Structure 1
């Protein structure tokens, strides 16, 4: 008799977890508070599957750089200190991770997970014929406006086996849409990918419903987790309690609202923004995924739209878009790629990305024997979702994991 796993959260992490579990023989119940799946943080993210660009935000020099950004009106980072112990605890942990050795160690953990995630998605696409979400292997070009940052990247970021260092002329030859943008050079990775995260969520949901092994409950907010001793027993859905055999928390930063004795989840939302810019026949949008390193803006063509994404706002739990931040991003994108799409018709979006201070997600067991975590992927949720789901299934099934779990296992009491 197969085991049943209940997952709280119907974004890309919860859905990828459910899909991996069903493929590994589990029965799944997925519970989502919204009336639709993939409609929050997974709805309109940057779209880049940047498997080799997974360095954590926390690094040596970042606190001083952030102070400089806070004094500028066009800063990619915005911090609004609040009388909120959760914010201060998260910031203290972040500052503690801002060391080069810690960054490199955490970056290695993320890269290991990212490469597993790439291989897992490839398996799903080839073995299950999973499609319909505008996936492409289009490559990624990280471009630099300043010689100093470009030289730093040349010596510290470029993996010569997978990445090419390009001059400004070579960048323009590779991606004609760059035109007259004043980039001094770039680093190109040919095997990076792009896809529509929301579309991916819908395809996973359709496969899960068709499997006969997954029940999806929409519009069901979990009010509490019931437990006895070292086991969780049920989730409280208001009108009734749903018994659980195994329970997975994959509800993003809202997972921290589901308090349990001895369980501390070091999560905080980092608000990000995007524009989905329609591309018409008269436009010339980049085909390669681009990262404007100095402005911290990413560009990805997803079907007939250009996804422009940027910003890290550490401002609390309000998901409402900031019109000023969106206007800044629109202006900077139009300055760089004026003919890339119809900016006047762009769809605006903001999402709350659940992040740990270290930038490394929490995947695995807790002190409760049947409670599991798949949380804290920050801006890398889509990139890391498939590998994270694969590992979760292996852990619950007590099988050898596909990669070393060092650095990924939750440190929770």
Structure 2
């Protein structure tokens, strides 16, 4: 079958890869000039297969007012005249229930396990340059109360097969000596020795290279401006090339895997997608002999910031802003990430070349991605939030099963 995948991020490219391997003729379309230039380009670089606590969790609610009142805090809400923004917020608050959080955890862990196996099989079959590491992760908690709440989630996940352990601050420093200067700032940590990290942009470029070599069409600099339909089915996409103008791409099926842009594309077809863009920021710092860089991935819950080593660089990412599709990068946000890096790992970092970045995590209120077939021949694979890179390969395999089931 001729299938068009809209989106060349990690979710779109994974979808294209498994559809191609299933025997379909696949075309990937993206408005960017190359692969992986959306949310995956500057994300936190962590593959969190075992630590998947949903964003919508009842333990989060008491702290929301304090976070919103802190002008320099990691959470920021910019009210807009947008029914979708307010509707998403109400649905998110409604999802902050223990029953919903636990069901989401069950589903995400199962999908993460499937995704881990699929990515590892892919990497074993293909020589890749993507700075993949398996050095584990430490999630740091500033006080006993936060660590106790985390242990409740740990015990629940243990019953689902996750292997993690609680460690003291001194034990965390023994695991990651680069934290020695920060030991007094956190009470303890959750250690998961099996977690991984990867440069998502490099991975996307490698996947695009491999697929192009196997005959998958990759069309960049092309914006989807509309859909042609007949009898409830999409027959073609109306594209606009950045230089060459209008184009028409015929297809027997369409997969929307365009991250935060999927919502607007689906709206053109008269349907709503419960996905909202949660804006985040990152910097990428060179590691030199003058810096004390971690090897283990770190998530600091005090600062709501993640740190991951990718090759000879340190990726630092954080913040959650509900402000629509605002692409600006305020200097204050970048300065916060720089300050967090120095707080945890000391000074000596070259911040003149920090590669400031912002992007949108396409999030559902519950944290569960949207993977479904809509009317006719339209499929949706998006809404992975901060776990897009973690869940992409498993979601892609499930998409193939969905397409094959629909085909009979």
Fold-level match, TM-score > 0.5? yes
* Alpha carbons 1:106, 1:358 under 8 Å: kept: yes
Contact residue 234 and residue 243 of structure 1 kept, 8 A: yes
1:149 and 1:95 map into 2 onto residues whose CA distance is: 20
Which is further off, 133-142 or 19-28? 19-28
From 216, 219, 222, the counterpart of 2:221: 219
Is 1:346 matched up with 2:348? no
1:285 to 2:293 alignment: yes
Deviation per CA, 1:240-278, whole angstroms, max 9, x where unpaired? Answer: 321111100011111222234452111211000111011
What is residue 104 of structure 1 aligned with on the other side? 102
Indicate yes or no: 2:13 matched with 1:15. Answer: yes
Cα displacement string for residues 260-309 of structure 1 (whole angstroms, at most 9, x for unaligned residues)? 44521112110001110110123220000011122211110000001011
**Aligned partners of 2:369 and 2:348: how far apart in 1?**
34
> What residue in structure 2 maps to residue 46 of structure 1?
44
Asked if 2 retains the 8 angstrom alpha-carbon contact of 1:20 and 1:393, the reply is yes
Contact 2:53 2:153 in 1 (8 A): no
- After superposition, where does 1:3-402 map in structure 2 within 5 Å? 3-126=1-124, 128-158=125-155, 162-181=163-182, 182=184, 183-212=186-215, 214-238=216-240, 239-258=246-265, 259-339=267-347, 341-366=349-374, 368-398=375-405
Alpha carbons 1:285, 1:341 under 8 Å: kept: no
- Of 133-142 and 327-336, deviating more is 327-336
Q: CA offset at residue 399 of structure 1? A: 8.8
Question: Whole-Å Cα distance in 1 between the matches of residues 21 and 312 of structure 2?
Answer: 32
**Structure 2: stretches of 5+ with no match in the other structure:** 241-245
Using the TM superposition, give the Cα deviation of residue 133 of structure 1 relative to its aligned residue in structure 2, in angstroms. 0.3
Name the stretch that deviates more: 283-292 or 234-243: 234-243
Q: Tell me the alpha carbon deviations over residues 355-384 of structure 1, each in whole angstroms, 9 at most, x when there is no partner.
A: 111111111211x22110011111111111
Q: Distance in 1 between matches of 2:373 and 2:177?
A: 48
Give the 3 Å change call, closer, same or farther, for CA 203–275 of structure 1 in structure 2.
same
Between Structure 1 and Structure 2, the one with more helix by share is 2
Contact map agreement 1:272 1:312 (CA 8 A) in 2: yes
SS, match of residue 240 in structure 1: strand
Please report how far the alpha carbon of residue 332 of structure 1 lies from its aligned counterpart in structure 2 after TM superposition: 2.0
Counterpart contact for 1:291–1:299, Cα < 8 Å: yes
- Bigger shift: residues 264-273 or 52-61: 52-61
8 A contact 2:181–2:345 mirrored in 1:
no
Structure 1 equivalent of residue 243 of structure 2: none
Does the CA contact (< 8 Å) of 2:290 and 2:348 recur in 1? no
Report the 3-state secondary structure (helix = DSSP H, G, I; strand = E; otherwise coil) of the residue aligned with 1:254. Answer: helix
Whether the aligned pair in 2 keeps the contact of 1:140 and 1:188 (CA below 8 Å) is yes
Q: 1:28-64: CA deviations, max 9, x gaps?
A: 0001111111112111110000111222211214344
SS at match of 2:86: helix
Contact 2:167 2:188 in 1 (8 A): yes
Moved more, 191-200 or 107-116: 107-116
Where structure 1 has 5 or more consecutive residues not aligned to the other structure, the ranges are: 401-413
Choose 254-263 or 8-17, whichever is displaced more: 254-263
Aligned equivalents of 2:253, 2:53: Cα separation in 1: 32
The alpha-carbon deviation at position 339 of structure 1 amounts to: 4.4
When normalised by structure 1's length, the TM-score is 0.92
Q: Secondary structure at the match of 1:152?
A: helix
